[in-house]
Amino acid sequence: MQLRNFFKGEPTPKMGLRLYPPPRKSGVPEVGRLRSGYQFVQCDMFSFPFCSRGCGIRPFSLSFSGKTRFAVTFPNMKFVGRGLPVPKASPKRLYLIPVLSKALDVLEMIQRETKPMSLESIYQRTRISKTTVYRILKTLVHRGYLAQAQNGLYRAISSPRKMVFGFGSQSTEMPFSEAVTKSLKDAAAASGVDLLVLDNHYDPAIAVRNADEFVRSRVDLVIEFQVEQQVAAIIGDKISGAGIPLIAVDIPHPHAIYFGVDNYRVGFEAGELLARHAQETWSGKVSWVLGLDIEEAGPLVQSRITGAFEGVRSRLPEVPIESFVRIDARGMRDKSYRLTLDFLRRHPRDRHILIAAATDTSALGAVQAVRELKRGSTIAVVGHDCLEEAMEEMAASDSPLIGSVSHEAHTYGQRLIHLGLAVLAGQNVPPYNYVGHKVVERKTLSTYAGE
């Protein structure tokens, strides 16, 4: 009889290939297919005796001559035909992301449950790695798809939405403020949080108006970075009255969680650096210790200069109290320049002057005055924030700027977003949240720049 269907070959240890009858009603054209290892051959129609219902299996061998001719040999018969190689079929690519599929499995399972679930029960049900399950759960909580209760159980949230945080930036004209704003924008985008940024322009009246705008916009949380203590209570009351959580950056506000540096500690370490410079360069002789302060920021920020004075005294206790002078420079460059220039002109013969500035912006103003009067060798300045311009100034061997305390502005964003989400999730957070800091001086400048 004539066989007009597919033949499927599979390798066997001894006989090479076995030929199996094709399924009925396959709808396959009148050609045959033979498989040899990983190569398929599509061949012409040929005839040989075989059970019409496919009730037998007969071993055979397959051989090729040239690119298109082949021979099929059974124990008592041989068939010759012509054919063309057919490429091995590759599985269809699905372009799946395995960890995303696992996350969806976890989310869908929790959504089907009517009761909160524990990490262990989710792990037992999914059989996904417990570490992976833990990270998936934390991510889904972070993005607002799940909620975690105080007892650690997880439940689905019916209608997740993106959180909106309001951020009152100090001023686009202040480099440190701009660094914090950039860090916060990057962190918000990475965390799926919408950020409404309003510039306070270093102006208390504008800061109050911006607080009103945050309330009108019904943001979920406000991060306030403004320097005027006189309006801190007004802003805190407006935000709290609207039932919106408040985080205050660097300057404390009523009703707010504090986030920023430990002002006294960073000031103390800046003072120690100044005192060490005096000991190593001037044999410990000091005529004046000048503090360029930010009076309107309030006592907590002013403790930065208080700490600097105490840091100097810790190493140079013989410096008389009347040699310590505090001046309100508002953290501004121009005002710091004018005040420092005026002070130095009123003390033209005094040498060995230490200047502790509350910010690098203020420190750069003082450096400008020192350079103008050509008194760099007898004055040392330390600032805060490690601004790029300050680092370049510090790199000069003849610069009076001998150091700066980095407040690690690039870390603010991620920590602020995480802190805000923790507050909104009802977690217990400490009232004061301090960031890390690093003292950078000329000899460690290259190491810090490489980090």
Query: For residues 333 and 300, is the Cβ–Cβ distance under 8 A?
Result: no
We report the CATH number of the domain holding residue 119 as: 1.10.10.10
**3-class DSSP state for residue 161?**
coil
Query: For residues 355 and 329, is the Cβ–Cβ distance under 8 A?
Result: no
Q: Is residue 292 part of a domain?
A: yes
Q: How many domains does the chain have?
A: 4
Q: Which residues contact 16 (CB under 8 A, 6 or more apart)?
A: 59, 60, 61, 62
Same-domain pairing of 217 and 339: no
- In this predicted structure, what is the pLDDT of residue 298? 81
Same-domain pairing of 168 and 269: no
The whole-number average pLDDT for the span 171-180 is 88
Same-domain pairing of 49 and 179: no
Same-domain pairing of 75 and 170: no
Same-domain pairing of 140 and 174: no
In Å, how far are 15, 100, 121, 174 from 127, measured between CA atoms?
43, 15, 10, 52
Q: Tell me how far apart the alpha carbons of residues 258 and 224 are, in angstroms, rounded to a whole number.
A: 10
Same-domain pairing of 308 and 218: no
Q: Tell me how far apart the alpha carbons of residues 223 and 144 are, in angstroms, rounded to a whole number.
A: 19
Same-domain pairing of 272 and 172: no
Q: Is residue 227 part of a domain?
A: yes
Same-domain pairing of 367 and 329: yes
Same-domain pairing of 52 and 178: no
Q: Is residue 422 part of a domain?
A: no
In Å, how far are 280, 355, 376, 424 from 373, measured between CA atoms?
24, 15, 8, 54
The whole-number average pLDDT for the span 357-380 is 95
pLDDT in tens, 70-112: 555 555 555 455 444 444 455 566 688 989 999 999 999 998 8
Q: Tell me how far apart the alpha carbons of residues 340 and 424 are, in angstroms, rounded to a whole number.
A: 46
Q: How many Cα atoms sit within 13 Å of 301 on the Cβ side?
A: 28
Q: Tell me how far apart the alpha carbons of residues 247 and 424 are, in angstroms, rounded to a whole number.
A: 12
The phi and psi torsions of 330 (rounded to 5 degrees) equal 60, 15
Q: Is residue 333 part of a domain?
A: yes
Write out the residue range of the structural domain in which residue 176 sits.
Answer: 164-260
Mean pLDDT score of the chain: 82
Q: Which two tokens stand for residue 400?
A: 């009076």
pLDDT class for 329, splitting at 50, 70, 90? very high
Same-domain pairing of 288 and 340: yes
Q: Is residue 277 part of a domain?
A: yes
Query: For residues 405 and 269, is the Cβ–Cβ distance under 8 A?
Result: yes
Same-domain pairing of 347 and 313: yes
> Residue for token digits 């000031």?
267
As a whole number of angstroms, the longest Cα–Cα distance in the chain is 122
Judge whether residue 284 has pLDDT over 90: yes
Query: For residues 259 and 415, is the Cβ–Cβ distance under 8 A?
Result: yes
Query: For residues 329 and 297, is the Cβ–Cβ distance under 8 A?
Result: no
pLDDT class for 158, splitting at 50, 70, 90? low
Q: Is residue 426 part of a domain?
A: no
pLDDT class for 45, splitting at 50, 70, 90? very low
pLDDT class for 34, splitting at 50, 70, 90? very low
The phi and psi torsions of 440 (rounded to 5 degrees) equal -115, 130
**3-class DSSP state for residue 62?**
strand
Same-domain pairing of 209 and 137: no
Helix boundaries (H) for 347-384: 360-372
Q: Is residue 151 part of a domain?
A: yes
Predicted model pTM:
0.63
pLDDT in tens, 387-417: 999 999 999 989 999 999 999 988 999 999 9
Burial of 76 (0-12, 13-18, 19+ CB in 10 A): exposed
Q: How many Cα atoms sit within 13 Å of 263 on the Cβ side?
A: 23
Q: At which of 86, 113, 133 does a domain end?
A: 86
We report the CATH number of the domain holding residue 185 as: 3.40.50.2300
Q: At which of 198, 225, 260 does a domain end?
A: 260
Q: At which of 260, 285, 308 does a domain end?
A: 260
pLDDT class for 159, splitting at 50, 70, 90? low
Q: Is residue 152 part of a domain?
A: yes
Q: Tell me how far apart the alpha carbons of residues 283 and 139 are, in angstroms, rounded to a whole number.
A: 57
Q: How many Cα atoms sit within 13 Å of 427 on the Cβ side?
A: 14
